Structure 1
């Protein structure tokens, strides 16, 4: 079964305090849903139209698990804390076998 991934690239961080509040809530929500954070920040080299900003990659055992984690009550609370604190490109993608 292909794994599922959250891929999030932050275009701008307007409110670091909201991002910090989101991180405090999102990390345990992701872990509780079976997610494993593989990349969180760190160095980025962007090419083409890429943006060299904060990037986060979270792995789940399946695409369905990744979608369910995003739709969970705990993660919705994290999103509410984040509010308009950032502008990001967030995707849930299916891996390959």
Structure 2
């Protein structure tokens, strides 16, 4: 069953945040991730205010999605994100196609 990272990110300093975006792709590639949405137009219909960036990343399995998050490569990239952006990340398992 596929799984997805769903992330909402508010960037405080775009220049420094770029250090995260330069490093994170290596972790995603290692785990076969595929971006389905990344920072395009969005509008909050319910709940909190619309974040600056919404991202959806697909993985082949829940285990790979979780392993990517905990990988040394992602944790190293995450250090740069944490300093210059606020993020909410949820990993969710998909459902069987109908």
TM-score, structure 1 as length reference: 0.90
- 1:49 maps to 47
- Aligned match of 2:35 in 30, 33, 37? 37
Runs of 4+ in 1 over 6 A off after TM superposition: none
- 2:21 maps to 23
- 2:71 maps to 72
d(CA) in 2 for partners of 1:28, 1:79: 12
Residue 84 (1) aligns with residue 83 (2): yes
Count of aligned pairs between the two proteins: 95
Contact 1:18 1:83 (8 Å CA) reproduced: no
* Shift of residue 40, structure 1, vs aligned partner: 0.7
Please state whether the residue corresponding to 1:39 is helix, strand or coil.
Answer: strand
* Shift of residue 27, structure 1, vs aligned partner: 1.3
Segments of 5+ residues of structure 1 without an aligned counterpart are none
